[in-house]
């Protein structure tokens, strides 16, 4: 019997604001950070790692929230967790006192993601499998049992989800073999950060093309004229056939978003991302109707499955951009993958930051093998930040994520990096 | 010149779970708590008090979030704040790094409410006026300047809001005089907590009638048969003419909510409150359509103005139940009062807990004098908990809130209560 014995929580902050990496219309100076947890077990050789991603100040709040949840996790037996895959997630989201602070949103939900994902890291490590493959090997009933179905039945029921997953069982082996051989399609967000000057943008575009990328994303939203100038520059660099996505990071109101996209339509954008408030389901629906055939993408700030349910029911999005730490961990990611498949909307996860790429590659590959069964319109975001700090960094080549082979979720930060960038007492900060 | 010099933050928790006061379908054992802040100034005789309400565990996270916001508040001059009424609220919600933890939801937004409300307490105390009267004396342009208009213009613009407020200027004096003479209508939620047995419910009903209440609310949602039995008991006690409201505290899915309300229709409910997930705008709209003429009420967990905008645009609610600490303080309360008036939906605030009654009486009275100008369908919730811990407790008689006369917002907790119930080192807890 292997039980969870204790949590070691670290507030890790990388000083990315110094280079304006990651700068956009809403977030001018992020310090990419992780509220990072090692879940230790009675087996000294087995720990699980989870984290939530933040952009600096306030990371300590997520760390404190992880500590507040500790009594729900410590003492649990891994076999019992594997027999009831939703047990930890439900214990955390149903803690009635802590639930008041959300519910299922904000700091407590970000902390939930860290602990829930650490659970899955533990299970997959123990099984000696990368998480995507561990998940894809589960029976449909087991996958569905991981989901908290409360508030979803008007869109999808557990029985319908099992039936849908059953139709995907044939072909699992072939799709898994395909991913191991060919990887998963991706796009890159390293060229168009708002803080970069034109020379740097041009240079990054050329580098991206040389590396084999065929889809690129740029930031817009501070000044429309400047957006158009930079978008033309990038379109000019990448030519007419590659995909160019635009990301407004929530800055517009609904009507101004429609007007701006109509201007930016000149550069043939593939999608507009976060055109307005992430809470505005109806606003996204109006924007989508007005700007078709340009796609509407959102989701990195969609905080739970009920928000995704509505985005899908309202026909508000063409692309669902799940985040590996904004949703309450793997269990809720599964819920959203099932909902998206039910509504036939492709999932193109949000990534970048600290280890978000490492998280979402697992989810997209699981989605392909066991849930949607499709690569149609699907790509994972890639940004070239901080992978060198990871024990098992993503491998990306020729514009594709290569299937992870290391056991677990793969979000362990290198111990020396944790020491150096721990806030405020690590070597870099003190 | 009077400037803000420092913050004193206290984690105050009252052990209400011992008596099952406040128990409902989602919250079986709340310990009513306050993340409480005293904002001190260079004038030793002038402090402002604000708080956010939680139900126990996690209150420390809100306290820490208030501390994280301190640099945006300390050093400000009160005259400058009064000249730019949105400056503190905007500084807090636009802090790009802390914003990531919401945005505008969860722990950081609850903490925002505490600090923003303390600002208004300071201004109204300095003016020697109760907050409702201080607000109602502002020019329409000043009221509108307090609002963060981002993401609202598809529903209401600042110009339209000013125009609407201008139409309410005539009659302000009469309405203010009316409130001072007659008070504001209310309903009571002290009879139907789920943890009470039938005898206690019956006894509380009789006491409520003896005190002059004509509208009562009960909790439902754990077991439909039991809900119906208890509802019949209450209806039997209060007779056919008084109002009976039902509160499900989010436990149902959309279709089960519709089915349950159809069963409970037997007791002629005035509204069903929180029938499903507080995030589910579309779900509330479907429920409302299916159960009319029974009203749908929600809002105590509607976390920001964009959620209210959608609830109103979608025709999802008959009653908007703003909370004094869930929204980001007075500034966002004003935004929602304006939106509700624009859509002609009455605001019946959520109250109870710690000091929520003290908060919302100010907002409803301001609404009546300067925003909606109407009492039609409007009542403030009242629950008889913890008022004895307040320096300026609400005065309620004959089923009405009496107009507050003390200066400020009125949410200062008695210093001896703060000492005794401070967690974990106060006398009660240590």
- What are the tens digits of pLDDT across the range A68-121? 999 999 999 999 999 999 999 999 999 999 999 999 999 999 999 999 999 999
Q: How many residues does chain A have?
A: 430
Q: Could you tell me if B62 lies within 8 Å of chain A, comparing CB atoms? A: yes
Residue of B45, B162, B150, B133 whose CA lies nearest to B364: B133
Contacts of B77-85 with C-beta under 8 Å, sequence gap 24+, read B77/B1, B77/B2, B77/B3, B78/B2, B78/B3, B78/B4, B78/B41, B78/B122, B78/B123, B78/B126, B79/B1, B79/B2, B81/B119, B81/B122, B81/B123, B82/B123, B84/B145, B85/B142, B85/B145, B85/B146, B85/B331
Whether A255 and B29 lie within 8 Å, measured CB to CB: no
Whether B61 and A60 lie within 8 Å, measured CB to CB: no
CB pairs under 8 A between A and B: 190
- Interface probe for A, chosen from B54, B72, B96 (most Cβ of A below 10 Å), is B96
Shortest alpha-carbon distance between residue A167 and chain B (Å): 27
- Interface probe for B, chosen from A106, A283, A286, A314 (most Cβ of B below 10 Å), is A106
- For residues A248 and A220, the answer to whether their CB atoms sit within 8 Å is yes
Q: For A97, which of B57, B105, B303 is closest by C-beta distance?
A: B57
Whether A105 and B105 lie within 8 Å, measured CB to CB: yes
Whether B61 and A65 lie within 8 Å, measured CB to CB: yes
Helices (DSSP H) in B300-414: which residue ranges? 305-313, 330-342, 356-366
Q: Could you tell me if B277 lies within 8 Å of chain A, comparing CB atoms? A: yes
CATH 3.30.390.10 for the A4-130 domain, yes or no: yes
Whether B98 and A281 lie within 8 Å, measured CB to CB: no
Cα(A428)–Cα(A14) distance, integer angstroms: 9
Cα(A143)–Cα(A151) distance, integer angstroms: 18
In eight-state DSSP terms, residue B402 is P
- Interface probe for B, chosen from A154, A222, A304, A327 (most Cβ of B below 10 Å), is A154
Using alpha carbons, list the distances in angstroms from residue A337 to A61, A144, A321, A327, A371: 29, 11, 10, 12, 7
Whether B65 and A58 lie within 8 Å, measured CB to CB: yes
Chain B residues touching residue A303 (CB < 8 angstroms): 105, 279
Whether B306 and A279 lie within 8 Å, measured CB to CB: yes
CATH pick for B172-416 out of 3.40.50.720, 3.40.50.620, 3.20.20.120, 3.90.550.10: 3.20.20.120
Chain A residues touching residue B108 (CB < 8 angstroms): 58, 61, 106-107
Q: Scan residues 301-320 of B and list those with Cβ closer than 8 Å to A.
A: 301, 303-304, 306-307, 309-310, 313-314
How are the residues of chain B apportioned to helix, strand and coil, as percentages rounded to the nearest 5? 45, 15, 40
CA closest to A105 among chain B residues? B106
Cα(A60)–Cα(B325) distance, integer angstroms: 22
Contacts of B417-424 with C-beta under 8 Å, sequence gap 24+, read B417/B12, B417/B389, B418/B10, B418/B12, B418/B36, B421/B12, B421/B13, B421/B14, B421/B15, B421/B389, B422/B10, B422/B11, B422/B12, B423/B11, B423/B12, B423/B13, B423/B33, B423/B59, B423/B60
Q: Tell me chain A's radius of gyration from C-alpha atoms.
A: 20
- Interface probe for A, chosen from B16, B195, B282, B290 (most Cβ of A below 10 Å), is B282
Q: Scan residues 232-261 of A and list those with Cβ closer than 8 Å to B.
A: 250, 253-256
- For residues A347 and A311, the answer to whether their CB atoms sit within 8 Å is no
User: Cβ-count burial of B354 within 10 angstroms (0-12 exposed, 13-18 middle, 19+ buried)?
Assistant: buried
Does A21 have pLDDT greater than 70?
no
Q: Which of A109, A217, A301, A350 is catalytic?
A: A350
Shortest alpha-carbon distance between residue A106 and chain B (Å): 4
Q: Scan residues 387-426 of A and list those with Cβ closer than 8 Å to B.
A: none
- For residues B69 and B98, the answer to whether their CB atoms sit within 8 Å is yes
Does A192 have pLDDT greater than 90?
no
Residue B77 has φ and ψ, to the nearest 5°, of -95, 135
Whether B57 and A154 lie within 8 Å, measured CB to CB: no
Q: Is B105 helix (H, G, I), strand (E, B) or coil?
A: coil
Active site residue A350: yes
- Interface probe for B, chosen from A107, A281, A314 (most Cβ of B below 10 Å), is A107
Q: Which residues of B89-123 are buried (b: 16+ CB within 10 A; e: fewer)?
A: bbbbbebbbbbbbbbbbbbbbbbbbbbbbbbbbbb
Chain B residues touching residue A99 (CB < 8 angstroms): 26-27
Whether B279 and A307 lie within 8 Å, measured CB to CB: yes
In eight-state DSSP terms, residue B57 is T
CA closest to B25 among chain A residues? A96
Q: Tell me chain B's radius of gyration from C-alpha atoms.
A: 20
Q: Scan residues 137-176 of A and list those with Cβ closer than 8 Å to B.
A: 150-154
Cα(B156)–Cα(B340) distance, integer angstroms: 10
Cα(B39)–Cα(A319) distance, integer angstroms: 45
pLDDT at B21: 67
For tokens 């209806």, the residue is B235
Beta bridge partners of B295: B271
Whether B108 and A30 lie within 8 Å, measured CB to CB: no
Whether B277 and A306 lie within 8 Å, measured CB to CB: yes
Q: Which of B109, B284, B350, B359 is catalytic?
A: B350
Cα(B234)–Cα(B216) distance, integer angstroms: 9
Q: How many residues does chain B have?
A: 430
Active site residue A105: no
Cα(B371)–Cα(B359) distance, integer angstroms: 17
Chain B residues touching residue A286 (CB < 8 angstroms): 154
Residue A36 has φ and ψ, to the nearest 5°, of -115, 135
Chain B residues touching residue A256 (CB < 8 angstroms): 153
pTM beyond 0.80, yes or no: yes
Q: Which residues of B375-412 are buried (b: 16+ CB within 10 A; e: fewer)?
A: bebbbbbbbbbbbebbebbbebeebbbbbbebbbbbbb
Non-local CB neighbours of B217 within 8 Å, separated by 6+ positions? B187, B188, B189, B191, B192, B244, B245, B246, B247, B273, B381
CA closest to A157 among chain B residues? B253
Chain B residues touching residue A98 (CB < 8 angstroms): 57-58
For tokens 């001072």, the residue is B180
Flag residues of chain B having pLDDT under 50. none
Q: Is B422 helix (H, G, I), strand (E, B) or coil?
A: strand
Cα(A410)–Cα(A125) distance, integer angstroms: 9
Residues A256-298 have pLDDT tens digits of: 999 999 999 999 999 999 999 999 999 999 999 999 999 999 9
Chain B residues touching residue A68 (CB < 8 angstroms): 57-58, 60-61
Q: For B279, which of A64, A256, A304 is closest by C-beta distance?
A: A304
Tokens of residue A221, six digits: 């939203």
Non-local CB neighbours of B265 within 8 Å, separated by 6+ positions? B291, B294
Cα(B58)–Cα(A107) distance, integer angstroms: 10
Chain A residues touching residue B286 (CB < 8 angstroms): 154
Say how far residue A130 (Cα) sits from the centre of its chain.
Answer: 17
Non-local CB neighbours of A283 within 8 Å, separated by 6+ positions? A254, A257, A276, A277, B151, B154, B306, B310
Domain locations in chain A as residue ranges: 4-130, 172-416
Q: For B314, which of A31, A62, A282 is closest by C-beta distance?
A: A282
In eight-state DSSP terms, residue B77 is B
Do the strands A243-247 and A215-219 form a parallel or antiparallel pair, or are they unpaired? parallel
Tokens of residue A343, six digits: 């509504």
CA closest to A282 among chain B residues? B310
Cα-Cα-Cα-Cα dihedral of B3, B108, B285, A89, to 10°? Answer: -170
For tokens 């590959």, the residue is A365
Q: For A58, which of B101, B254, B286 is closest by C-beta distance?
A: B101
Residue of A335, A365, A360, A370 whose CA lies nearest to A411: A360
Whether A150 and B280 lie within 8 Å, measured CB to CB: no
Cα(B409)–Cα(B412) distance, integer angstroms: 8
Asked if the bond preceding A215 is cis, omega within 30° of 0, the reply is: no
ipTM score for this prediction: 0.97
Cα(B426)–Cα(B430) distance, integer angstroms: 6
Evaluate whether A4-130 and A172-416 have a shared fold. Answer: no
Cα(A248)–Cα(B395) distance, integer angstroms: 49
- In chain A, what is the straight-line distance between the N-terminal and C-terminal CA atoms, in Å? 41
Whether B96 and A254 lie within 8 Å, measured CB to CB: no
Tokens of residue B139, six digits: 């020019």
Q: For B313, which of A31, A61, A282 is closest by C-beta distance?
A: A282
Q: For A107, which of B106, B152, B283 is closest by C-beta distance?
A: B106
Q: Could you tell me if B71 lies within 8 Å of chain A, comparing CB atoms? A: no
């Amino acid at each position: 019997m292997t039980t969870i014995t204790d949590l070691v929580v670290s507030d890790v902050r990388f000083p990315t604001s110094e280079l304006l990496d990651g700068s956009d219309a809403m977030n001018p100076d992020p310090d990419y950070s992780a509220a990072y947890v090692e879940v230790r077990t009675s087996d000294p050789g087995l720990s699980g790692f989870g984290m939530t991603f933040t952009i600096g100040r306030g990371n300590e709040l997520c760390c404190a929230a992880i500590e507040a949840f500790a009594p729900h996790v410590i003492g649990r037996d891994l076999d019992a967790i594997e027999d009831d895959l939703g047990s930890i997630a439900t214990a955390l989201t149903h803690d009635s006192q802590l639930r008041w602070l959300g519910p299922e949103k904000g700091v407590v939900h970000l902390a939930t993601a860290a602990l829930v994902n650490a659970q899955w890291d533990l299970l997959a490590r123990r099984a000696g499998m990368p998480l995507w493959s561990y998940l894809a090997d589960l029976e449909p009933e087991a996958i569905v049992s991981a989901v908290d179905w409360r508030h979803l039945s008007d869109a999808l029921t557990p029985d319908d989800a099992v039936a849908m997953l059953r139709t995907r069982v044939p072909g699992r082996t072939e799709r898994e073999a395909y991913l191991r051989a060919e990887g998963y399609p991706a796009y890159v967000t390293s060229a168009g950060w708002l803080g970069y000057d034109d020379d740097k943008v041009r240079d990054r575009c050329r580098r991206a093309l040389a590396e084999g990328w065929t889809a690129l994303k740029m930031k817009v939203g501070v000044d429309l004229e400047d957006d158009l100038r930079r978008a033309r520059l990038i379109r000019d660099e990448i030519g007419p056939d590659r995909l160019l996505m635009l990301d407004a990071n929530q800055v517009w109101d609904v009507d101004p978003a429609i007007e701006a996209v109509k201007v930016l339509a000149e550069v043939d954008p593939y999608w507009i991302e976060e055109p307005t408030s992430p809470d505005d389901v109806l606003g996204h629906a109006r924007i989508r109707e007005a700007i078709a055939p340009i796609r509407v993408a959102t989701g990195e700030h969609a905080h739970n499955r009920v928000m995704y349910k509505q985005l899908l029911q309202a026909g508000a999005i063409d692309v669902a951009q799940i985040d590996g730490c904004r949703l309450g961990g793997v269990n809720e990611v599964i819920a959203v993958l099932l909902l998206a498949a039910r509504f036939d909307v492709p999932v193109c996860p949000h990534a970048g930051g600290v280890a978000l790429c490492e998280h979402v590659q697992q989810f997209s590959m699981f989605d392909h093998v066991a849930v949607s069964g499709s690569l149609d319109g699907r790509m994972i975001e890639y940004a070239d930040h901080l992978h060198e700090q990871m024990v098992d960094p993503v491998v990306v080549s020729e514009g594709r994520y290569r299937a992870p082979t290391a056991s677990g979720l793969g979000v362990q930060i290198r111990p020396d990096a944790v020491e150096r960038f721990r806030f405020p007492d690590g070597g870099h900060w003190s």
